[in-house]
Each structure stands twice: as structure tokens, then as C-alpha cells.
Amino acid sequence: MKRKIQYLIISLLLIGFVASAQNPKAKSGTFALTHASIETITKGVITHGTIIIQKGKITAVGTNVSVPSDAIVIDCTGKWIYPGMIDGGTRVGLLEIGQIPQASDEHETGQVIPQMKALTAVNPNSVLIPVTRISGVTTVITAPGGGMFPGTAALINLHGYVPDQMFAGFEGLVMNFPNQSRRGYYDRRTDEDIKKDVEKVTKQMNDIWDRAVEYYKLDSATKGKGLTYYPEMTAFLPVVRGEQNLMIEVNAANDIKAALKWVADRKIKKVIFTGVAEGWRMADEIAKAKIPVVVGPTLEEPTRDYDRYDKPYANAGLMKKAGVKIALRTSHAENVRNLPYYAGFAAAYGLGREEALKSVTIVPAEIFGVADKFGSIEVGKVANVFVCDGDPFETKTNIHHVFIEGWQIPMVSRQTQLYEEFLKRDPGLNKN
Amino acid sequence: MKKLIILFIVFISFNQAQAQVQHGNVLIKNGTVITITKGTLENTDVLVKDGKISQIGKNIAAPTGYTVIDATNKFVMPGIIDAHSHIALTAINEYSNAITPEVWTGDELNPFDISIYRALAGGVTVSHALHGSGNAIGGQSETIKHRYGTLDMDVLRMENAPRTIKFALGENPTTHGRNSGLQPQTRMGVEFVIREAFSEARQYMETWDKYNKEKLVKGFRGAPPTYSLRLETLADILKGNIILHCHSYRADEINMLLKVCKEFGVKRLVFQHVNEGFKVAPELAAAGAMASVFSDWWAYKLEVYYSTAYNAAILTRNGVVTSINSDSGELIRHLFHEAAKTQKYGGLSDDEALSLITINPAKQLGIENRVGSLEVGKDGDIAIFQKHPLSIYAIPMITIVDGVVRFDREKDPDDMRIYVDPKQVVDIPTIQSHDHDHDNCLRGTEMFTNKMLGLN
């Protein structure tokens, strides 16, 4: 019987899909999501609640909400509403197909190119975007990779036709801290080589920072007038001034220690650590420095053979316990849809469900300075929400509606379209 | 004293040469027993005697000397099986030729690989240690049991498991061809390389058959034909003695191999990865070919761009015996979670989803009479979870192989290495890079292979 109902639901969904246009568009308007359990994140759970979405914003939340006459009413009886999830580190929009250089814009040439902007190269029509957003991930950091200062990362909402329409109000300067680690089993450098490499790169890093500080002093003294064109140094200015975040990718324990000292010595004001695979080894020190962390991926092998097998799962929880502010990331382009599962694993291995939920909603919003707009369900916030039929961390749960900046997103991706077409292929084995 | 030690070592090596597999006695009490093939039984006990399941029922009394595990409020399922992995191997690809069936991963098993323990910590008790995908016809592969703790590579082998071999279609062999200036460099070339190999093997087989027949005639004085391990192995595929596991992605290449195998009478065929298997599900089902897929990996190269996470569900609904594999030392640690994704992508039932990592991969490796479900007479390979294994909050607690507890979350120390490399520097860890080619398929051991191949 259960199976029959499942088939019925699938058939109904299919009919819905077929009836819609080949490339369905998002819809705007006034929406009322009624009779739902609402996980507000910041203000507890509201049962039998209603959310009103108008002009891209959440205009009402609660049990005693009047539905505007022009509202499109979506009955959410038995369903849950959550704020759209935020992934603190991805390649979405920059990377389309991994092994094809022409389909990858994440990695510009050069060690020190902070003037590169990820937002420039975000492809709003990436096939990966619908795949991601219909899983409830509405907002992501997309970051460049490569050299020591590969450019600025941007926070984007996963709906829009030009990058500017997607921009969600945060940019951070990415820095890959010199790393005293191997990149994988194929990395056959000796320990000596690794240490030499790190020394060399560290010197380069210090020189660059000194120059950036010099440039800042010149810029302040001259009020920006009379300085020659120097795009790299111009890009450092907001960070040196303490206006923009420096997003430092750092993973090995020794590197974390070095980065903490480096940041403290230079009195850099706004810093976010990313990756932080061995953060659990330095958790107290990170907490003491009050540097927020975007940790992940959760599903990763331990960094050392002698470490306990579950350390990558437990890493976020261990840091949280020490008092570190934790957001999660997948580091993916194509499977950012798995963010809720990364959070689920972190929850199971010590972070706990409530904190795990925060680490993909309000905490990243706070870290990126956009908590007034994103990360929870509150009146006045941007209407990034999704409706699902259970705990969104559970794989059994299906997501039924997604709203991004108040736009009702079509629940279609190329992956669902292939499912429709091929579940019962026609013609099957015989064409005639 | 020295003599005694030497004597002891000789004694140990002699014993090891027999590949002494340890079999345990264990009673698992009062769990929710997910048999896979015969339903789910509440408050049920499982008795394992000498490494085999001897009884499943209620209120079984513990015979003396048995390890007793209280599984109250826990979930007991068969050990998970991974039909595609490269753990416990010291090398993956012999790519000196487009055709290398003469090599065998079973020659280079590494019982010290910590990945075996990490797999156990994900409830995985059996894996298929596959040759890589650098050439059209790769090496023979070994089905191993995760008897972590043994120092003897022979103990890892699953006794009497059928022989298997790895083939590869599409971008990997053609890229290797282009890099080395050899055939194949296209999917046309791949077909030809396989056809030619099968044809030569058929000829070889006929020559030997003729000789073996003639030599029985009195007075026959001819010389035997030249022996070739390469052709001998290919002939064994044609005879049905080896299960063919083929790395593949695109629908056209899958269709090609189905036709070639049909023509040469090869019946035991399992496609690996098979991201576009959903497009030719009716053809796969009609041929009785099986599919071992990723839950959701895609877009890391062109031939997986037109993929869907609904692949496993579409294949299952079309009647193809489907499994979910890891191909990765990371992913093998949470295959239960990968299987659970098919409930989101296609609404598979609990038993259907769990079959993808138990009885179905067992069928694909030809070991379904030994493992893959909890039934009396089968091997005592068991995984115990604190929550339902398809829940995101599930944590494997105890993993048992042949009735021997090989993983115990509560009792095992953090450091589970068997062999400690005195040269290993402890403060230089390995941080997998995420900002390079982003090639999921070639992660971990295959990434190493890839570097060696110069594919990056």
C-alpha cells in the first residue's frame, strides 16, 4: 500500500513536471505558507504557523497571521519550513565540469592575485545550480582557488540571471596559508622538502603583507591620490583597513598555530579560518583568538593514520565544545546538495542537531555579516526558505518548495528531468 | 634466545602460509535484525558459531565461551559489501598495455592499510579490490574480507570467491591511449581492442582444445601450443570462469559491451560506475547485466555530466541488480548513507535501499551464497548500528567478520595502526586538496594512479 502511494505521488509529480514548460521560470508574488511547523532557528519552533512572503521579504511569521487577499496560499499541513541553508565554501558557478579546463574558472594563474573576483565568473545558468537549490541550499560562498591570494570569494543566492542579481552582500579575500602538509598520497615530497617549501612561501607571504601595509599607509597619507595603478595592493586595502574579511584556508595543526600567531602579530581585524581539518587539535587556541571557522568537508578521511577514524566527523563538534564559532562547508561544486548530510554527520558525532542546524543557517550568516538578511525565519528578513516533509538532515526527507529572495523556485533540475524521461523509457527495449 | 625467536618466527610463518582464518563464536542479543532477504525481526538474537550464522531467533541462550553482545535498541544488519574499492592495495593500474589480464591485484594486497579498519568502522566487511581503469582490459581483481589485524595478506582473501577482472571503457582508456600514443584513443578503438582480444583468446582456446584432443590419440607427437597467461585469462572469461566488471559511464559504450559480450557468449557482466546506466536500463535488464553505481557523483568530467542521482532507483525499477559502491577510501566509510540517498532520489524502500550495499553487491561478486544477508548458514559478517542504518544519525558501533569482532567503537583505541613506520613524521598530516581538478572519481588511491598516469 505504501509503495502504491509512493508510485501515485511520483506519477502525480511527473504529470506536474510534464505539464510545466521545458524550462520553468521562478514565480514572484505574495505567498502564504500556512499550517506549517516553522523552525525559525533564532526564535524556536512555531507549530501550526504561517509565513507571509511579500516583495522578497518575510513580512509575517506566527500562528495568528492574516493572509493577504492577493496571496498564493500553499497549505503546508504536516510539513516543516526552514530557512534556506548556507554553504560556507563552494565552487558553485565557477566550476562546471571538473576535468575540462574550459569548464573551470576557479583558478587564475598567479600566486598573488587578490584583485580576481569570483563574482565576475559566476555562471548563473550553471546546470549545477538548480541541482543544488532544490535541495534547500539557497545561498553559498563561491570561492576561487589556487595560489596564495587567489582572489575574493562571494556570497551568492542561487537564483538570478546575472551575478549581480545573485550577490548576497558579502565578499572576502581568500588566502591559502602556507601549508605544512601533503596534498594526498601521491604527494611524494620529503618532510625536508615540505618544510623548505613552507619557509619559502612564508617569507613571500610576509613580504606581501608588509607591502600591503606600506601601500595602505601611502594610500592613507595621500588619500588615494597620486598612487600608481597597483591592482594587487588596491585589493588588499579593505582587509588592511579592517573593513573586509581575510578568509584564511588553513588545515594542519602546525599551520593553524602559525596562522593564529601571524594574524595576532599583524593585528588583522577581520579574519575567518576555512577548512580547519585539524581544528580539533587547536580548538582552545582558536576559541581564545575568537576567530570564526568555516569547517569542512565533514565527510573526509582522517589527516593522519594514527588519528581516530571519526575525527573529521567529530571536528566541528569538538571545536564548538571549545567555544569556537562554527559554520559548515562542503567544498563542492556539484554536490553542494549534500550540505544537510554533512551537517547530519557532524550532528551525530558530537555537534548535536540544534547546533548543526545553526551551523548551516544563522552562524554562517553572522560570520559573513549578513545575519540581518539571512539565516533565520524572522519578519523583515529575506525570504530564503524551504518547505520539507521531515528533518532536512535525513535522506528520506523530500523538499517540496524552495523560495529564494521571495521567488518560488521551480522544483526541477536536469537530474529530475532525466528521472522523468528515463524511469520508464519510451521506447523501451523495442522501438516498434 | 635468538634461536628461540627464529624458531618462533619460522613456526609463525609456517602457520601463516596456511592462511589461517580466524572464526569466532558470538551471540548478538535482542536487536532489531534486518535480514535483508527475510524481513526485519524485532527483539531477535543472532548466533554465530565457528564464523557461520547458526541460529536466528528469540531468547537464544549463550553457549559457554561465546562473546555476548547486547543489541537492545540497536540495529543488526549483514556486513556491508563494496563492489568497487581500491583499499588494501599497493598498486592499482598496470597500464603498460591496453590489455593486461595477466596481472592480478591479489598479488599485492596490503593487510596493514588503515583504510581496512576505517571501512570496518563504516560496517563494511567485504570489498572488491579492483584493478584501475587506465586500460581497456585491466587486471584480475580480488574479493577481500576485512580481517583487519592479520599480518598475512592471504588471510584477507575471501576463500573460494569467484575470479573477477576489470575492463574499462570511455575517457580513461582513451586518455591513456592519447597520452601514450597507443590504441585506443576513441570509443571505436576501445571496442576493437576488446573484440580483437576476445577473438585471439577464442583462437587460442581452439588451438589448445585441438591439441588436448589430439594428444590423447596414440602415437601423437606434435608440440603443445605456446602458453600465454594473457590469452589463458581471456579464454577463462569466454568460458564463464571469470566475472567481468567493467568501468563505464556513457550509454553508448555500455550498449557496445553488451553486444560484444553477447557475441562472444560472455554472460557474467557487471558494469561499474555506469552513470548513464539509467539510459539503457531496459537493455541491461534484458541481458541480465548488473550495475554498480555511485549514489550521486557527477560532473567531475564530461562523461558524467549527464548523470542523475536517480540512477540507482531507475535501474532498480527496471529490474537491474544494482549496487552502490565507493571507489574511495573515504566513501567506503559511509556506504549506508550513500544507499540512504536512494530514498530521496527515487523513493526506494528500506529493504531495497539496503540491498544496494548487501545482497546485490554479493550477487555481483558471485558470493551471495556466503554473505549479503542474515540467514542461517551464511558467514557471520555483521554490522551493528545504534540507530537505523538509513538514518543520517546512524553510527556503526560493532562490526563482525566471521564471528570475530573487528571493530568496536566503544572499546577500540584511537590509534589502530598495525604497523608503525618509524620514519613517519607525526606533524605532517595529509590534507586532501579540494581546489585542484576536483576529480571525485579519482580520489584517494585513484588520484595517485591518475598522477602516475599523467592524466591531470
Interface test with B, best of A282, A396, A411 (most B CBs within 10 A): A396
Which pLDDT tens digit goes with each residue over A339-384? 999 999 999 999 999 999 999 999 999 999 999 999 999 999 999 9
Evaluate the CA torsion angle A195, A308, A360, B298 in order and state its sign: positive
Spatial distance between the Cα atoms of A344 and A353, rounded to a whole number of angstroms: 7
Please judge whether B308 and A414 are an interchain contact, meaning their C-beta atoms are less than 8 angstroms apart: yes
Q: How far apart are the first and last CA of chain A?
A: 34
CA B306/CA A228 separation, integer angstroms: 49
The contacts of residue A431 (CB under 8 Å, 6+ apart) are: none
Chosen for mutation from A179, A182, A193, A305 (greatest number of chain B CBs closer than 10 Å) is A305
Query: Cis peptide leading into A163, omega within 30 of 0?
Result: no
Contacts with A331 from chain B: Cβ below 8 Å: 434-435
Asked if B431 is an interface residue toward chain A (Cβ–Cβ < 8 A), one would say: yes
Q: Strand, coil or helix: what is A340?
A: helix
CB A149 within 8 A of CB A175: yes
SS3 B16: helix
Cis amide prior to A150 (ω within 30 degrees): no
Task: Name the grid cell of A403.
Answer: 523560495
Interface of A with B in 59-88 (CB under 8 A): none
CA distances from residue A105 to A286, A305, B442 in whole angstroms, order as listed: 32, 34, 21
pLDDT tens string A383-415:
999 999 999 999 999 999 999 999 999 999 999
Find where cell 530557512 sits: A83
Q: Please say if the pLDDT value at position A69 is more than 50.
A: yes
**Nearest in space to A421 (alpha carbons), one of A22, A140, A73, A84:** A22
Residues 267-296 of chain B whose Cβ lies under 8 A from any Cβ of chain A: 278-279, 281-283, 286, 296
Positive or negative, the Cα torsion across B384, B387, B391, B392?
Answer: negative
Task: Report the relative pairing of strands A385-388 and B404-408 from DSSP bridges.
Answer: unpaired
A275-304 pLDDT per residue, tens: 999 999 999 999 999 999 999 999 999 999
Q: Which residues contact B237 (CB under 8 A, 6 or more apart)?
A: B101, B165, B198, B201, B244, B266
* Alpha carbon of A41: minimum distance to chain B alpha carbons (Å): 20
Say if residues B327 and B84 touch (Cβ distance below 8 Å).
yes
Q: Write down the pLDDT at residue B452.
A: 42
B40-49 and B26-34 strand pairing:
antiparallel
Mutation site for B-interface testing, chosen from A141, A182, A294, A422 by largest number of B Cβ within 10 Å? A422
Q: Are A271 and A246 in contact (CB under 8 A)?
A: yes
- pLDDT at residue number B443: 36
For residue A1, the model assigns a pLDDT of 53
Q: Nearest-CA distance from B334 to chain A in Å?
A: 9
Question: Which residues in chain A are contacts of B433 at CB distance < 8 A?
Answer: 183-184
Do A127 and B334 lie within an 8 Å CB cutoff? Answer: no
Query: Which residue of B296, B333, B431 is in closest CB contact with A183?
Result: B431
- B386–A contact, CB cutoff 8 A: no
Determine the pLDDT at residue B69.
98
- State whether residue A296 sits within 8 Å of chain B by CB: no
Which residues does chain B have within 8 Å of residue A333's beta carbon, measured at their own beta carbons? 299, 438
Q: In chain A, which residue's Cα lies nearest the Cα of B435?
A: A145
Q: CA B235: distance to chain centroid?
A: 23
Q: Is A218 on the interface with B (CB under 8 A)?
A: no
Per the listing, cell 565461551 goes with B65
Of A43, A70, A39, the closest CA to residue A54 belongs to A70
Residue B375 C-beta-side C-alpha neighbours within 13 Å: 14
| Residue carrying C-alpha cell 548556507 | A86
Q: Cα separation of B365 and B126, whole Å?
A: 10
Residue A186: pLDDT band with limits 50, 70, 90: confident
| Pairwise CA distance, residues B395 & B413, whole Å | 17
* A223 inside 8 A of chain B by CB: no
Contact with chain B for residue A396, Cβ under 8 A: yes
Q: What chain A residue is nearest to B286 in terms of C-alpha separation? A: A429
Closest CA to B385 of B79, B46, B14, B4: B79
Does residue B301 belong to the interface with chain A, where contact is any CB pair within 8 Å?
A: yes
Closest CA to A253 of A303, A184, A205, A299: A303
What pairing do the DSSP bridges indicate for beta strands B52-57 and B67-70?
A: unpaired
Question: Is A16 a residue whose pLDDT tops 60?
Answer: no
CA–CA separation, B144 and B156 (whole Å): 5
For residue A274, what are the β-bridge partners?
A249, A294
Closest CA to A172 of A102, A264, A246, A236: A246
CB-CB neighbors (< 8 A) of B343 in chain A: 395-396
Task: Say what the pLDDT of residue B432 is.
Answer: 81
Q: Are A49 and A102 spatial neighbours (Cβ–Cβ below 8 Å)?
A: no
Do the chains contact at A301 and B444, CB–CB below 8 Å?
yes
Identity of the amino acid at A393: F
Residue B442 DSSP class: G
Q: With a cut of 0.85, is the ipTM above it?
A: yes
CB B111 within 8 A of CB B155: yes
Select from B428, B453, B455 the residue whose CB has the most chain A CBs within 10 Å, as the one to mutate to test that interface: B428
Q: Does B300 touch chain A (CB under 8 A)?
A: yes
Chain A residue closest in CA terms to B455: A99
CA-nearest of A71, A26, A12 to A404 is A26
Residues of chain B with C-beta less than 8 angstroms from the C-beta of A179: 431
Nearest CA in chain B to A311: B414
Interface of B with A in 172-191 (CB under 8 A): none
Q: Which three cell numbers stand for residue B296?
A: 550521486
Residue to mutate among B250, B278, B434, with most A CBs inside 10 A, is B434
Least Cα separation, residue B341 to chain A (angstroms):
5
B251-264 and B187-214 are packed helices; what angle lies between their axes, rounded to 10 degrees?
10
Q: Where residue A17 falls among pLDDT bands split at 50, 70, 90?
A: very low
Spatial contact of B383 and B406, defined as CB atoms under 8 Å apart: no
> Which A positions 306-325 lie with beta carbon below 8 A of chain B?
306-310
Q: Mean pLDDT score of chain A, rounded to an integer? A: 94
CB contact A101 to B (< 8 Å): no
Instruction: Report chain A residues whose CB lies below 8 A from the CB of B348.
Output: none
Q: Which residue of B has its CA nearest to A98?
A: B300
**Number of other residues whose CB lies within 10 A of the CB of residue B232:** 15
Spatial CA neighbour of A95 closest among B437, B376, B320, B254:
B437
Q: How far is B233 from chain A (nearest CA, A)?
A: 31
Residue A231: asked if its preceding bond is cis (omega within 30°), the reply is no
Amino acid at B393: Y
| A55 min Cα distance to partner chain B (Å) | 32
Closest to B432 (Cβ–Cβ): which among A2, A300, A395? A300
Q: Within an 8 Å CB–CB cutoff, is residue B448 touching chain A?
A: yes
Does residue B297 sit at the A interface (CB-CB below 8 Å)?
yes
CA-only gyration radius of chain B, Å: 23
The answer to whether the beta carbons of residues A144 and A113 sit under 8 Å apart is no
Asked whether A153 and A174 are in contact (CB, 8 A), the reply is: yes
Distances (CA, A) of A398 to A80, A393, A394, A402, B317: 11, 10, 9, 11, 19
pLDDT value of residue B4: 59
Question: Which distant-in-sequence residues (6+ apart) come within 8 Å of A211 by Cβ?
Answer: A233
Nearest Cα to Cα of residue A10 among A426, A422, A420, A421? A420
Position A185 scores a pLDDT of: 74
Query: Would you tell me which residues 6-25 of chain A have a C-beta closer than 8 angstroms to some C-beta of chain B?
Result: 6, 9-10
Q: Which of B281, B309, B427 sits opposite A254 (nearest CB)?
A: B427
Contact assessment for residue A114 and residue A146, using Cβ atoms and an 8 Å cutoff: no
Residues of B within 8 A of A198 (CB-CB) are none
How far apart (Å, rounded) are the C-alpha atoms in residues B383 and B91? 29
CA distance A340 to A393: 5
In the sheet where B242-248 sits, what is the strand order?
A: B80-85, B124-129, B137-145, B163-168, B242-248, B269-273, B290-293, B322-324
Contact B424 A393 (CB under 8 A): no
Beta-carbon contacts of residue B377 (< 8 Å; ≥ 6 apart): B52, B53
Distance CA A205, CA A203 (A): 5
Q: How far apart are CA A427 and CA A416, in angstroms?
A: 19
β-pairing verdict for B290-293 and B80-85? unpaired
> What's the confidence (pLDDT) of residue A2?
55
Alpha carbon of A227: minimum distance to chain B alpha carbons (Å):
34
Sequential pLDDT tens for chain B (456 residues): 556 555 555 555 554 456 799 999 999 999 999 999 999 999 999 999 999 999 999 999 999 999 999 999 999 999 999 999 999 999 999 988 999 999 999 999 999 999 999 999 999 999 999 999 999 999 999 999 999 999 999 999 999 999 999 999 999 999 999 998 999 999 999 999 999 999 999 999 999 999 999 999 999 999 999 999 999 999 999 999 999 999 999 999 999 999 999 999 999 999 999 999 999 999 999 999 999 999 999 999 999 999 999 999 999 999 999 999 999 999 999 999 999 999 999 999 999 999 999 999 999 999 999 999 999 999 999 999 999 999 999 999 999 999 999 999 999 999 999 988 776 666 788 888 764 343 333 333 344 444 444 333
Mark yes or no for CB contact A275/B431 under 8 Å.
yes
Give B 14-43 residues with CB within 8 A of chain A. Answer: none
